[in-house]
Structure 1
Amino acid sequence: MRRFITLHPWGCALIHPTGRNILVPPPRPALIQATLPELPASLRHGQQHAYLCGPRPRFRSWYPLIAVNITIDFISILLCTCLTAALLSDVRLLRSQCRNLFYLNVVVSEGIWASFEFTKFVLLVCRNELLENRALQYADAAIVHMTAIVSIWTLAVVAVDLWLILCKRIKISDRAVVGACASGWIIGTVEAISILLDSTLTWAEIPLFAGSSWSSRNPLVLFRTILGWSCVFLSVGATGTAYYLIMRHITASKARLSQATKSSKQGQISAPQSQVDAGDQMCRRFMMLSIVSITCGTPTAAWVLCELLGGRTAPPALVVLATTCLLLEPTLDSLLIIYMHPNFYNRILSWFKLVRPARAENIATSP
């Protein structure tokens, strides 16, 4: 039985009776139209394995970048662990200011992702044959999608919550805050389960992201990818719109208070002014966190759009930029939260004997 190979950007596409393409190393020009011997029986029954595939040499060429990724992941794990411990160390504070659960949601999800990426790359470097391990591929895809959904959902809920508080004077209950945080994990779990049930899942040649290939022309893959990323773009748009309305409201409130200052005594306007300042401070903290997350995710969005619209793999430089930004996101988010909250910062330092515990406890708690 004759099997023909055709050119592929990173190798050749071998079509076998199941209709699924298998990448093989780039052949010599004289072999482009050569015939191949009979394939093993396992391929005829639709079982995918590494027959004639050569991902290991390609993977080894990325060892320098992978070493950087492992280092960044390790730093992210340390920061996320310390920040999670700081958030959970004072249960009374967490109950009185339940919106700190939003921070906890983001930090825990990003910490889980960084921990898995660190473990995955260490295993792959030690044992290259795991590149073909289907269980690791599915676990990678499930963890990536679940944690991304939790972070995006949480940041969108935070923006809407702040808009209701500052613009509409509506404060949702603590139970609603807990429910909003839990709903992100429920949605992420449902997405992860749908991925685990997807038999068409493939791993890209550069195993920095697992999931159905974005350059695939399969209708089901296209539909799922477009639907998923449409939800992401809608969430980002809702977040940006909410913060725009909040900042416009705060600016207008400050203008009205400054006008009232000219005709009123200071004591009569100090309370409204302090409320506006507190709302402005809380808004700017969450807004900075959202800006960092959106900025880190923008190269990945460009990567997806490039492959969806072009139907081919993205340039390696864009892939490296996107994956590097994604790897930096947990570190940057954790550092930003610690920097914006002196109580978290000093509590973490006190554990390492860098500040006195009494000083850490006396720091005023920020909203």
Structure 2
Amino acid sequence: MLAPARRRTLQSHPSPDLPTSSGKTTTGFDDGDQNFGGYDADKVFYRKAWRTMTASRVVTRLLGLALASALLFFLLFEQVELDDRDRNVYVHELEVSLDAAGSAGTWIEPFSWKPRAFTIHNFLTEEECDHLVSRGEAELERSRTKSTEDGVSRVDNIRTSYGSWIARYEDEIVGRIEEKVALLTGVPVPNGEEIQILRYEQHQRYEPHRDTFLREFLSDERGRQRIATILLYLSDVDEGGETNFPMGKISREYRDEHGKGADQENRECGGSLQAAVKPKKGDALLFFGMDGQNTYEDPYSLHEGCPVVEGTKWSATIWMHQGHSLWGEHGLDMLKGRCRDYNRRCESWADRGECVTNARYMKRTCRRSCGVCEERKDDASGSGKA
């Protein structure tokens, strides 16, 4: 990110009518024994300065101007390269209806305005859900939580699920899902973290928490604050597994349509469900953890994953930030059609089978050697609407 240029004020003469230490009043630039007031002083000053400027000074200033122009061009070119990462490659349109009677299979239902939360029905296809599960289940490990005291991720009993991460643009299906989320939310893919896959089995849960970070842990490299979260439900759950907002104010229309607090089915989730969404395969839940100006945390965004009573719950999460997040940045090269390794030893590691035994690291660092990607010849490879 380019730091804003500092403003510099150049004042060649005192302000008109400014009292001096002698008690007199100066009306412009003092040139020897002569005083020139206001506008005329400016003209005389600059005319005299130009006449006395030597040829070498002219050349020096012209060279400085040329260098400044070259630097400006370089910075603008680099900015174009950065902005180029924000455009979608695979998905350029997303057809969405505002009610179930619409022509599109995907439709949005307002869930709550405290917090701002929306259910997106039929957001993912059956194939996309199954693909994320299959990509994530091979690398499952006990989920961690990030401490609000020191920012370190640790295993904690407030979160008893198992999870794994999928690299950005790991394959075309993953890229399409990320771009659908970008179109839906208006947040570019580079502002999101990698997709996290989660599996909750019987009695596993995630206790009430918020997704935002404390201010002291924010950094430009990680995209500053998390502003929104999208949960992708990858399976149906026989009973339990709701996403509940203990402080949430569910919309009247949603309550009338789906029942009061999901009929308080899950007694392990705080005894009642104030505002809960039941997981349904292919649906998504989008909610915002900050206020409309992304300045203050929204207290109503406190949420929890209720215990699974019967069955298994599979879900995926993408956290979206204020700026570009460097988590999984190598995958963003896909946006430029690049497919490369980021370590000179990748080829030998791949020959030893590290793409399987050390899959998470290798898929991010040795993308070409592990066959994660391929060079794209045609940069305009988007396939149209989802």
Q: What TM-score, normalized to structure 1?
A: 0.22
Q: What TM-score, normalized to structure 2?
A: 0.21
Normalized per residue, which structure has more helix? 1
Normalized per residue, which structure has more strand? 2
